[in-house]
Each structure stands twice: as C-alpha cells, then as structure tokens.
C-alpha cells in the first residue's frame, strides 16, 4: 500500500546492511537494522490505539532511537511532533494540549513532571532516555520487526512543528508528506547528494534544519550520517576528516574558525558546507574560504516552508545572500501594507509559494489566513530584496523575533513575564548582536513610580517559566521606552542603543 514519504525515505532501504548512522564512538546502525527498530516502534504506536493522523509528541534526546520514532510515525501514519529538549513542562503542556497528542514520549528524567500533562491531555506517556532505553524500547522489543505500512497520500500531514509566534501563542505548522518530499528531492538534487556522502550531523533533530533538511536528504540519497549528540568542537574536528558534508547554523562556523586546529587539512575531504537558520555574516563567509578554500553555501528556510532559496552548488556562492529560489519555488518581494509586488531591487516583505509551503496552522484558520494569501503565497515576516543578478538578500525581519544560535525566541513571551513582576510598569525585549550566538536577548524595563527593581530577583523569577535559551542575558532599566507618535515602542532605537553591549570593542 502506498505511503510516499515512508516508501521514498525509508522503505527503499529495507534489508540493506549499508551504514545509515555512525556514532561518535565509531559504532554503526545499518539501514536494515534501523528499519526493523522503526517497525517495532510503529507496532507499539498502533497498539497504543493511535490511528493515522493522530499526533505523537516527542521530547527526547538525539539518538538513533529518536530518529526511529520519526520513521515509525511515518510508517504508522501518525503525525510526528518533535519538541525542543530545552522546553519546560509548561511548554510541553501547551503543545501537547493544543495538538491533542495521544502519545507523549519523554526522557525518564522528565516523566514525573510530564505525568500530569499526559493525564490532563488524555495521552499515554512513555519514556525514551538518551541511550534509547526506557519503557518505549522495552515494550517495543517484543513486537515483530516488520510492520505493514499504513496508507497515506502526499496531502496527508506528516509532522507538526510548533512556533510560538509573535503574539506568544503556540501555532502548530502542519507539514504534509508532499511538503517534505518535494523539498528533500529538490535539495538532494541541487546539492548533489549521493549514497557516497557522509554528513557530519551535530544539529538537533527537533527542528527543520537537522531533521527535514539534513536527515531526509541523507535518507533519500542513501548516504550516512555521522550522528553526534550535539555540537562539540573537539568531536567535530576529530570526525570531519571522515565526512564529506556538514550542515550548521552560523555559530558552528564561527566556533570552528575561532579554533586554530581547524585548518585546510581538517576540511580536505569535505565537498560541501551548508549554513542556514540565521544570517551568516559575509565576514564569516570570507574568513572560512581563506582558511579552508571552501565557500560556504548559504540557504534560506523556515519551519512553515522548509527551504526556499539556495546559493548555487555550481556557480557563484555570493556572501551575504541566500541565493536563488529553489526549482519549483517562487519568491516575490511585496509591499507589506498592500501586498503588491515591488520592482526588482526594492526592499519589502519576502513571500514564497511552492510545493514546500505548509498546509496551515492546526485548528487556526484565522492565523493561517493571515499568513497565507489566497493565491498561495506565504508571508514570511522576513524583509529582503532581489539584486540585479537574481540573488535574494535578507535585510531584516518585519516579525518581532530573535534568533539566538539558530533558536527562535519571541519577545512577547518574555515581556509578558517581565510585565507581571512587582514594580515593573512595562518592558521591551530585544535581540542584540552576540559574537557566538549571532543575537542574544536583552530585557529593557521601566519601573513603576519610584520602585527600585531587583534585577537578579526578576531574572530568577521569570527563569523558571522559560526554557534556558530564552533567558535574557541582561536586564536594563530605563525611565521610559522610546515610542513613535502612534505610541508604538521603537525597538529599532533600542536595538541601536544596545548594539555593542556584547560585541568586543574594535581595536584602536
């Protein structure tokens, strides 16, 4: 029976003893063994009573078993809903509740805090630890190593990825089998992936970049992932000579360049370095080429759209740009207020249309209609221009969002907590340049009357409700926030004022 995503990415490898995953310690998992494990997991998902279209929320460490849960969801027709391991129990509650997840998979360490969440949501709770052990593996181990793949079409939803959104409300982006398939086919072709490739994989697998770009492309091409739990400089430097490709956020590249051991020789065996998820400074691009002889290939994507544009594999990879629309994908630059297409060269809202664009936000027709025009163009919230040679330049964001080390942070979520603190009249949260993370979070506070604010206390109070990566690195008190004549807070002014807060001073 057809299940296009399963058949194309996984089913084609049935019974093969080729290496799919190579771990940091050199141990490997073959495609065949991986698929048998996934089949057992698919069996367990079905035994939990899930039917095609039901959601499985997964907050587990990166491991071969975690990837097998993804494969199992696809095979059983369930919707895979991966969650950042840094999310708090409250975050997981919001996402599980909103999605109506019927099964939640978490690390054993979190099972106590998530038991009430599962109970309220009416979901089953199973554990999967970083080494793959836990109740899920134990129950699956006795099940058959084959599973009769359930029927799906390209229009069926394969995954939900949540984004908090500028208003702070959780939105589940529904990605169909067709979205994922079309994008990995195009990318594998454009970037010339083959079964000979070995991709150095240090990204998390709960986001588009590490999962749908790096993993899907490799599965499609039949290559190997050198599969690392996280970005660790020493491990990366040690294993790069065995790899042919790497995908990373800009922080990966600046960290590599900041280490003298990273040389032309380390990168000699590599054929491709891809960067995305956040802006790569032109300076990093240039330094990287000087050090290694490789030009980083920068591309542009989003949770809702997968990948939209890419610099060319052959041809000029232009620093400071994200290249051309991918085959089958249309990009246009519009006037944000009217939606009219602007002449080439002008700066405006980036909109995208193509088979990569998601189906909408789960149970949010209003939010979907705000983001997706009737003619199918998705309003990205990024600002850009297309130059005379057709390269897309991202020049800013119209959405209020911070990207720290490739993770999105929505100021509203933090401002709400700050505003609730005693003595705080109002707040504005901004992103400022950071040498390692690209941007980092700063909170600007205005005190009520004569109140004296205890900044450390405030940091501690709001900390408990926020994933670590969202914590403001600094809080600052101002007598008032800059506003325009309409009364709107001018974050641009605040960003300019604190631009150098974390940046090393230029040498005199």
Residues of the shown chain interacting with ligand AMP in the complex, contacts defined by CB under 6 A: 163, 208, 276-279, 298, 300-303, 322, 380-382, 394, 397, 403, 408
Map the footprint of ligand MLC across residues 78-137, applying CB under 6 A: 86
DSSP bridge partners of 22: 28, 226
- Would you say 134 or 276 has its CB closer to ligand AMP? 276
Give the nearest distance from C-beta 220 to ligand MLC in angstroms.
Answer: 18
Q: Determine which residue in the list 142, 340, 450, 468 makes contact with ligand MLC, applying CB under 6 A.
A: 468
Does residue 354 touch ligand MLC according to CB under 6 A? no
Q: Residues 6 or more apart from 169 whose CB is under 8 A from it? A: none
Q: Determine which residue in the list 8, 216, 251, 310 makes contact with ligand MLC, applying CB under 6 A.
A: 251
Q: Cα dist. 358→5, 271, 422, 436 in Å?
A: 15, 31, 41, 31
298 binds, among ligand AMP, ligand MLC, none (CB under 5 to 8 A by kind): ligand AMP
Residue with tokens 């403001």: 472
Q: Determine which residue in the list 64, 276, 323, 431 makes contact with ligand MLC, applying CB under 6 A.
A: 276
Does residue 323 touch ligand MLC according to CB under 6 A? no
Residue with tokens 């994933």: 467
Residue 463 to residue 95: CA distance in whole angstroms: 20
Residue 17 to residue 5: CA distance in whole angstroms: 21
Q: Determine which residue in the list 109, 192, 230, 261 makes contact with ligand MLC, applying CB under 6 A.
A: 230
Residue 211 to residue 81: CA distance in whole angstroms: 12
Q: Determine which residue in the list 360, 406, 443, 472 makes contact with ligand MLC, applying CB under 6 A.
A: 406
Q: Determine which residue in the list 325, 405, 411, 472 makes contact with ligand MLC, applying CB under 6 A.
A: 405
- Would you say 29 or 392 has its CB closer to ligand AMP? 392
By CB under 6 A, how many residues form the interface with ligand MLC?
23
- Would you say 136 or 252 has its CB closer to ligand MLC? 252
- Would you say 88 or 115 has its CB closer to ligand MLC? 88
Does residue 277 touch ligand MLC according to CB under 6 A? yes
| Helices assigned H by DSSP within 321-446 | 365-371, 411-419
Residue 160: CB atoms within 10 A of its CB come to 25
- Would you say 287 or 397 has its CB closer to ligand AMP? 397
245 binds, among ligand AMP, ligand MLC, none (CB under 5 to 8 A by kind): none
Identify the burial level of 485 via C-beta atoms within 10 angstroms of its C-beta, where 0-12 means exposed, 13-18 middle and 19 or more buried: exposed
Q: Structure tokens of 128?
A: 């999967």
Give the nearest distance from C-beta 274 to ligand MLC in angstroms.
Answer: 10
397 binds, among ligand AMP, ligand MLC, none (CB under 5 to 8 A by kind): ligand AMP
Cα 249 off chain centre by: 10
215 binds, among ligand MLC, ligand AMP, none (CB under 5 to 8 A by kind): none
Residue 109 to residue 121: CA distance in whole angstroms: 20
Map the footprint of ligand MLC across residues 283-302, applying CB under 6 A: 301-302
In angstroms, how far is the first alpha carbon of the chain from the final one?
Answer: 69
DSSP, collapsed to helix, strand or coil, labels residue 452 as: coil
Does residue 469 touch ligand MLC according to CB under 6 A? yes
Residue 57 to residue 103: CA distance in whole angstroms: 6
Residue 382 to residue 438: CA distance in whole angstroms: 17
Give the nearest distance from C-beta 278 to ligand AMP in angstroms.
Answer: 5
Give the nearest distance from C-beta 86 to ligand MLC in angstroms.
Answer: 6
Residue 88, CB-side half-sphere exposure with 13 Å CA sphere: 12
Specify the stretch interacting with ligand MLC by CB under 6 A; choose among 36-44, 99-107, 206-214, 373-381: 206-214
Residue 81 to residue 121: CA distance in whole angstroms: 15
Residue 32 to residue 479: CA distance in whole angstroms: 64
Residue 190, CB-side half-sphere exposure with 13 Å CA sphere: 25
DSSP bridge partners of 126: 105
DSSP bridge partners of 226: 22, 200
394 binds, among ligand MLC, ligand AMP, none (CB under 5 to 8 A by kind): ligand AMP
Does residue 273 touch ligand MLC according to CB under 6 A? no
Handedness of CA 276, 280, 282, 287 (dihedral sign): negative
Q: Determine which residue in the list 407, 428, 475, 481 makes contact with ligand MLC, applying CB under 6 A.
A: 407
DSSP, collapsed to helix, strand or coil, labels residue 69 as: helix
Residue of minimal CB distance from ligand MLC?
405
- Would you say 182 or 266 has its CB closer to ligand AMP? 182
Which helix (H) or strand (E) covers residue 313, if one does?
A: none
291 binds, among ligand MLC, ligand AMP, none (CB under 5 to 8 A by kind): none
- Would you say 313 or 423 has its CB closer to ligand MLC? 313
Specify the stretch interacting with ligand MLC by CB under 6 A; choose among 40-48, 374-382, 399-407, 482-490: 399-407
DSSP bridge partners of 440: 432
468 binds, among ligand AMP, ligand MLC, none (CB under 5 to 8 A by kind): ligand MLC
The binding site for ligand MLC (CB under 6 A) comprises 86, 203-204, 207-210, 230-231, 249, 251, 276-277, 301-303, 404-407, 437, 468-469
């Amino acid at each position: 029976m057809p299940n296009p995503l399963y058949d194309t990415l996984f089913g084609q490898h049935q019974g093969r003893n080729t290496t799919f995953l190579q771990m940091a310690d050199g141990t490997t998992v073959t495609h065949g063994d991986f698929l048998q494990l996934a089949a057992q997991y698919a069996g367990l998902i079905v035994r939990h009573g899930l039917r095609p279209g039901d959601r499985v929320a997964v907050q587990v460490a990166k491991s071969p078993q975690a990837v097998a849960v993804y494969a199992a969801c696809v095979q059983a027709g369930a919707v895979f809903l991966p969650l950042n391991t840094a999310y708090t129990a409250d975050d997981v509650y919001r996402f599980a509740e909103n999605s109506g997840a019927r099964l939640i998979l978490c690390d054993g360490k979190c099972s106590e805090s998530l038991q009430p969440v599962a109970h309220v949501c009416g979901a089953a709770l199973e554990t999967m630890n970083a080494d793959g052990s836990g109740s899920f593996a134990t129950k699956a181990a006795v099940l058959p190593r084959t599973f009769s793949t359930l029927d799906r079409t390209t229009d069926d939803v394969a995954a939900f990825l949540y984004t908090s959104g500028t208003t702070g409300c959780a939105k589940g982006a529904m990605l169909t089998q067709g979205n994922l398939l079309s994008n990995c086919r195009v990318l594998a072709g454009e970037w010339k992936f083959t079964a000979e490739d070995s991709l150095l994989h240090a990204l998390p697998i709960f986001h588009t970049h590490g999962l749908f770009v790096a993993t899907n492309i490799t599965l499609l091409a039949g290559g190997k992932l050198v599969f690392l739990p996280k970005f660790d400089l020493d491990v990366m430097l040690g294993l790069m000579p065995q790899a042919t490709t790497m995908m990373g956020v800009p922080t990966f590249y600046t960290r590599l360049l900041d280490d003298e051991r990273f040389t032309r020789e380390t990168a000699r065996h590599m054929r491709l370095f891809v960067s995305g998820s956040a802006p790569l400074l032109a300076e990093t691009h240039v330094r990287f080429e000087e050090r290694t002889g490789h030009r980083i290939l920068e591309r542009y994507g989003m949770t809702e759209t997968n990948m939209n544009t890419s610099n060319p594999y052959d041809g000029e990879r232009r620093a400071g740009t994200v290249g051309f629309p991918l085959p089958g994908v249309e990009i246009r630059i519009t006037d944000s207020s009217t939606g009219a297409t602007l002449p080439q060269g002008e700066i405006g809202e980036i909109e995208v249309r193509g088979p990569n664009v998601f189906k909408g936000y789960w149970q949010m027709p209003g939010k979907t209609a705000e983001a997706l025009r009737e003619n199918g163009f998705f309003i990205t919230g990024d600002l850009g221009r297309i130059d005379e040679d057709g390269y897309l330049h991202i020049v800013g964001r119209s959405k209020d969002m911070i990207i720290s080390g490739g993770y999105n942070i929505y100021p509203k979520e933090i401002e709400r907590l700050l505003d609730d603190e005693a003595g705080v009249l109002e707040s504005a949260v901004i992103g400022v340049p950071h040498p390692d993370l690209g941007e980092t979070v700063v909170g600007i506070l205005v005190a009520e009357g004569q109140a004296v604010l205890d900044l450390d206390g405030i940091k501690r109070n709001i900390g408990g409700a926020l994933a670590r990566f969202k914590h403001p690195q600094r809080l600052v008190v101002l007598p008032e926030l800059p506003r325009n004549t309409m009364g709107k807070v001018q974050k641009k002014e605040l960003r300019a004022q604190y631009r150098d807060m974390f940046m090393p001073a230029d040498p005199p």
